[in-house]
Structure 1
Amino acid sequence: MLAVGIVLNIIGLGFFCWVLFTLAIYALPFFLGMTVGLYAHESGTGPLGAIGFGIVTAAFVLVIGQAVFSLVRTPILRIAVALMFAVPAALAGYYATFGLSGLTMTSDLWRQVFAVIGAVVIGVTAWMRLAASPPGGPGGPGRPALS
């Protein structure tokens, strides 16, 4: 019975880490969408209006961020946009890794070490995902493929 628990724990943590890596690029749009939705709800919009405002804001931030990253060729501006997406992802990765490491170890020093490593890895993953799949890249809409 103990072996089954260990295997299920490894599978569950592996699945959670896979989801975290996959969704890392969406940390900034999620944060801004949630902020706008909460502000709209507090302003009296109601639950459905707040959800709508939040979803529209998140989609707008994601599309504009990826479009700016893919269309602008100035390295400084591309780095700034990539950092805007990677820093919230790294922060989310830090807290997720810190929380997960608390399940298995008691030393705060080692929890901090693993949390910093997780933050760096997830921040780099978000950066690479943004750089790997910009809309309108070579061969995308309105652009000829490079051959």
Structure 2
Amino acid sequence: EPTDRFDRLLKHVTRSLAAQTHSLALATDEDGEIYASGMANILDIPEFYDIDITRTVLAMLDKAEIINQIFSNMAFEDQIKILFGEELNMPYLEGCGFVIAKYHSPTHTGMLGVVGPSRLNYPVVIPTMRYFSQLLSEIAKN
């Protein structure tokens, strides 16, 4: 079943993205499913020692509308976008950074995201996100 294979692929991609960036990784598909990995990674980051920040970030994973609101900040022509928590007007996310990217193919479209402190290692995270979104787009074509 192609849908099951793509579902497994998104799970694998979020695990790999979380491992590569040492952050929380997210993915969505065209059905609004949310895939997440790396929750334990954020517990090692000093900014997330604040329980209110960590609770807010982890609660997002259960609320598709919040994830979709964050991802909706991406314009159609954007390939990769960096967002800072202050831009989202959501309590407790001020110290967070988000890097989001699109993937698309004739059969699948969605978003990838990395969540971490606003001091994320952008020179590593951005090319990693670009790589994973391009890889996912290529694989989804087949």
Higher strand share: 2
TM-score by length of 2: 0.27
State the structure with more CA Rg: 1
TM-score by length of 1: 0.26
Higher helix share: 1
